[in-house]
Structure 1
Amino acid sequence: MFKLQLPFPPSVNTYWRHVGNRVLVSKKGRQYQATVSSLLDRKNTKTLDGELIVDIRLVPPDRRRRDVDNSLKALLDAMQFGGAYHDDAQIVRLTVEKHQPDPDDPRAEVVVQHVPAPIGEAGYRTCLRCDEAFESDGPGNRICVSCRQINSMFGDLVESERGKKRHNGEIITEREEDLV
């Protein structure tokens, strides 16, 4: 298992270029691959074999609308190019979260690990909330006991926010609704 903090990946819209009848990785895409490859070299990461789980947290540079899937191709290909794994076909479980923008530090936080238990069976899993390994009852149990307790304590807060109008993820007050 290894954790990486990589630069925010280019969109798939700028990753490819058409040259005649051929489709090539763009200059921006090749630069991103080289950057990720050098980061992996500096961390002395070993190429992982077998089935893998990849968890990604995207922190974009600005508030523009972005589809999370547009960032995946460049990121996963660059990690393969850099030697994190042999082929991105090894990935059997992939989670992606998009967080609030950070103009000072746009990034992709990546955790790559072997599959701790076959899909559908009990075993060790990674908590979706705290990224710690825990003993799981099965595929539906993806949050550890301590995080479940935290969720139950703050469940009332989450329930009270359900159904409210939002703008860029933030709840809009009634006075702001009139302005929008």
Structure 2
Amino acid sequence: MIRLKLPFPPSVNHYWRHVGPRVLVSKKGRQYRADVSSLLHRKQIQTLEGDLIVDIRLTPPDRRRRDVDNSLKALLDSMQFGGVYHDDSQIVRLTVEKVAADPDAPRADVVVQHVPASIGEAGFRICLRCDVAFDSGGPGNRICPTCTLVNNSLPAVKPMERGRKFRNGEPLV
């Protein structure tokens, strides 16, 4: 298992540049790739073989709206360029989570590991809530037993209706 703290990736909108009929990786994209490659080289990361699971937690630099999928291309290609794996086609399970913005430390926390069990079978998973490894009952079970107990002990929350306007919890007429 490899745990990495990488710089926050550029959006795919800033990763590519059109130069005439060609599409190239932009200067910002090349710089990001070089930064990630340098960091991985200093950590002496060994290239992983076979099917992989990648869990990503994105901490953006500000509260602007961002699509999580716009950050994936630069991040996954940079990890491939840096030698974490041979090709991003090795990734068979990808989990992405965007958390609250942190202007002081925008980053991408990444965990890369081998697939311990076939997709659809019980096996080893990383808890989405506490990042602890646990033995899962199947692909739909991504919360460890401890966090499940905590979740079940929380009071029930009444979901708000979408499309209606509310003020102080009361619907406006």
Q: So what's the TM-score if we normalise by structure 2?
A: 0.91
Output the aligned Cα RMSD. 1.8
Residue 7 in structure 1 maps to residue 7 in structure 2: yes
Q: Contact conserved, 1:53 with 1:113, CA < 8 A, in 2? A: yes
Higher helix share: 1
Task: Name segments (4+ residues, structure 1) moved above 3 Å.
Answer: none
CA distance in 1, matches of 2:51, 2:159: 37
The 1-side partners of 2:43 and 2:23 are apart by: 32
In the alignment, the residues of structure 2 paired with residue 96 and residue 161 of structure 1 have an alpha-carbon distance, to the nearest angstrom, of 27
The correspondence of residues 64-143 of structure 1 with structure 2, limited to 5 A, is 64-143=64-143
What is the distance in 1 between the residues matched to 2:161 and 2:59?
Answer: 25
2:159 matches 1:162: yes
Change (3 A) 1:161 1:56: farther
The match for 1:20 is 20
CA distance in 2, matches of 1:33, 1:95: 21
Deviations 1:85-138 (A, max 9, x none): 000001111111111111111111111111111111112222222222211222
How far the C-alpha of 1:162 sits from its partner, in A, is: 2.3
Q: How does 1:51-66 map to 2 (within 5 A)?
A: 51-66=51-66
SS where residue 57 of structure 1 aligns? Answer: strand
Displacement, 1:173? 6.2
Unmatched 5+ stretches in structure 2 = none
- Match status 1:174 vs 2:168: yes
Query: Where do 5+ consecutive residues of structure 1 fail to align?
Result: 166-171
Q: Is this contact kept in 2: 1:117–1:125, CA < 8 A?
A: no
Separation in 1 of the partners of 2:57 and 2:112?
12
TM-score, with structure 1 as normaliser: 0.87
Pairing 1:43–2:43 present: yes
Inter-CA distance 164–23: structure 2 relative to 1 (3 Å threshold): same
Q: Measure the CA separation in 2 of the matches of 1:101 and 1:133.
A: 26
Deviating more after overlay: 143-152 vs 133-142: 133-142
Report the CA distance between 1:140 and its aligned residue.
Answer: 2.0
More moved, 141-150 vs 77-86: 141-150
Shift of 1:164: 6.8
